[in-house]
Amino acid sequence: MYYPYAIEEPDISEVSGFGPDSDIDIYDHQDLQQTYSIHSISQQISQISESEDEEEEEEDVIDQSRIFNLAEVKVFLDEVICPICCHIIKSPKICKECDQSFCGKCIDKWFQKSPNQQCPCCRVGLNYKNNYHYNQSIMDDKVPKVLLKLLSKLFLTCKYQQDGCEEIITYDFREKHENHYCQYQEQVCENIGCFETMFRKDLEDHQLECKYGRVQCKYCSKDQLRMDIELHLQECDCRPILCEWCKLKQQAIDFDDHVEQCEFKDILCIYCQKKYKRYDMKYHTPIYCLKNLYQNSLEQIQQKDQKILELQKQVEQFKSNKLMEQSDLNQSTNEMLSEKYKQDFEEEVEEVIEEDIQIEESDSKEQQPEPSDYSEEQQPEPGDQENQDEQKNKQNQQQSEQQICDDENEFIKFYNNMQNKQDIFINERLKEEDLIQKMKKVCQVINNLK
C-alpha cells in the first residue's frame, strides 16, 4: 500500500535569534548576506543534482504499464508496489516492524531526506540518537519467499520496447536481459577514438567496419588500426617480394641480402664482358675466361676482315662504274659533236643552193630591179657565221673536258679516302693479331705451370 506522508521541514522561527520577535536584523551585516547567497547557490546546485538523479531513477523504474499479464497478477499487485515511488519493487527491503516492503533505493533516500528518521509506514525509529545508519537497520535485506514468488510471476515488456524490442521477460530475468541481452540497448563503440552509439544488434556489424578497430596484419600478425592497415601492408617488413631471378618470394626485410646472394642473378665478367649466373661464376676460371676472350677476339677479327672485303668490293665497283660513266660521257660528247658538224654542213649546202638559185633568177631578170629586204651592208657574211659556230663548238668541248676533269678529281679523292680506311683496318688487324699471339704465349705459360 502507499502512504503519502509529507516530509516535515524545520521551522526557522524556532532557531534562536531568528524569530519574528527577534531584535537582530540579518541584513545589517554584509557577512550574513554573503553567507546566505552562498547557501542559495549550494541549494540550487543540490536541486540540479537531485533533478538529474530523479531523471535517472525515472528511466530505471519498472512502471505498472510494462506488466504483460496484468489480468493474472491484478489480485496481488498491491503487494509488489513500492509505497514511496508507486512502481514495482526493485531490490526489495522490508521493515522488521510492519513487514512493509520498499525499493532499496527509495528507502535509502527516504532516510537521507527525512528529518525524523522513521519508517514511512509504521513511524518506528530511534529519533533520540539521530543515527541514519542505525535507523536504517530496522530494514531487513532478507525478503520473504512469498514476496519473491509473487514478483517472479510478473511478465514484463522490455524497457526498450519503444526502440523496437518485442521480448516478454520474467521479473527475475529482467536485469540480465536489459543489461546484457537486449538487442535494442544503446551501446558505445569500445574502440579507442570512436564515440559512435548504436543498438547492440548493430554493434557487431559496426565492429567489422569501424576505422578505429584493430585488424591483424596477414604478414607480421601485429594489430593495426583498420584505417592504417592498407598503408601498413605496403610498408610491412614481412611483406613478400618476388625475386626476378630465382622467382621465389622473400620478406622485404631480407630482400636486399637475398639479392646480393641469389645464385640465379646475372653477373658480368670484367674480362670477357659476358654475363653468367652466380652459380656459374664459381667455375668461370681465368683460363676459361682467356679462352672466351681469345674466341671473341677471333670473331671480331673475322668481322673486320669481312668488312674490309666489302669495302674493297665497293671500291672496285665504284671504279668500274666511274669508267663506264666516263666512256658513256665521251661517246655522248662525240655523238653531239658529229651531229653538230653534220647539221652545220647541211645548213651550208642549203645556203649555197639558195645563192645559186638567186644568181640564176638575177640573170634572167636583168632589166627588172632585184627586190631585196635588206641592203648589202646588212646581209651577214658567210665567213662570220662559220666562225660563230666554231666558237660555240669549242666552248662546248671545253665544258665537257672541264666536267671530265672534275669527275676525275672527285674519284681520286674518294679513292684516297677508301684507301686510308683500308689502311686503318689493316693496322687494327695487325694489332689484334699481335694481341692474339701474346695471349697464346700466356696460355702456353699457364699450361706449362700446370
CA distance 72 to 76: 9
CA distance 408 to 330: 13
> 7: which DSSP letter?
P
Find out whether 328 and 310 touch, Cβ atoms under 8 Å.
no
CA 296 to chain centre: 49
- pLDDT recorded at residue 446: 66
Cell digits of residue 343: 647539221
CA distance 135 to 116: 10
CA distance 84 to 4: 8
Task: Give the CB-side neighbour count of residue 436, counting CA atoms within 13 A.
Answer: 15
CA distance 296 to 276: 16
State the Cα angle at 216 between 211 and 219, rounded to 5°.
130
- pLDDT recorded at residue 7: 34
Cell digits of residue 323: 669508267
Among the listed residues 62, 77, 75, 121, the one whose alpha carbon sits nearest the alpha carbon of residue 96: 121
The sign one gets for the Cα dihedral 29, 32, 36, 38 is positive
Q: Who contacts 4 (Cβ-Cβ below 8 Å, separation ≥6)?
A: none
CA 416 to chain centre: 65
State the Cα angle at 165 between 164 and 169, rounded to 5°.
160
Cell digits of residue 398: 671545253
- Tell the residue number behind the cell numbers 530494514, with chain if given: 139
**Amino acid symbol at 138:** I
DSSP 135-195: HHTTEES---HHHHHHHHT-EEE-TTGGGT---EEETTTHHHIIIII-TTSEEE--STT--
- pLDDT recorded at residue 231: 93
Task: Give the CB-side neighbour count of residue 347, counting CA atoms within 13 A.
Answer: 10
CA distance 43 to 153: 43
Find out whether 124 and 98 touch, Cβ atoms under 8 Å.
yes
The sign one gets for the Cα dihedral 170, 176, 178, 180 is negative
CA distance 81 to 62: 10
pLDDT digit of tens for each residue in the chain (450 aa)? 333 333 333 343 333 333 444 443 433 444 434 444 444 554 555 555 555 455 555 557 888 888 888 888 888 888 889 999 999 998 888 888 888 888 988 888 888 887 777 788 888 764 434 444 555 556 666 778 888 888 889 999 999 999 999 999 999 999 999 899 999 999 999 999 999 999 999 999 999 999 999 999 999 999 999 999 999 999 999 999 999 989 999 999 999 999 888 988 888 887 777 788 888 877 776 666 777 777 777 788 888 888 888 888 888 888 788 778 777 777 777 677 667 666 766 676 677 677 767 776 776 665 455 444 444 444 455 556 667 767 777 777 777 777 777 767 777 777 777 777 777 877 777 877 777 777 777 666 666 655
- pLDDT recorded at residue 127: 44
- pTM of the entire structure? 0.43
Among the listed residues 121, 31, 48, the one whose alpha carbon sits nearest the alpha carbon of residue 82: 121
CA distance 161 to 183: 11
Name the strand (E) or helix (H) holding 299. helix 286-364
Find out whether 186 and 197 touch, Cβ atoms under 8 Å.
yes
Find out whether 208 and 214 touch, Cβ atoms under 8 Å.
no
**Amino acid symbol at 377:** E
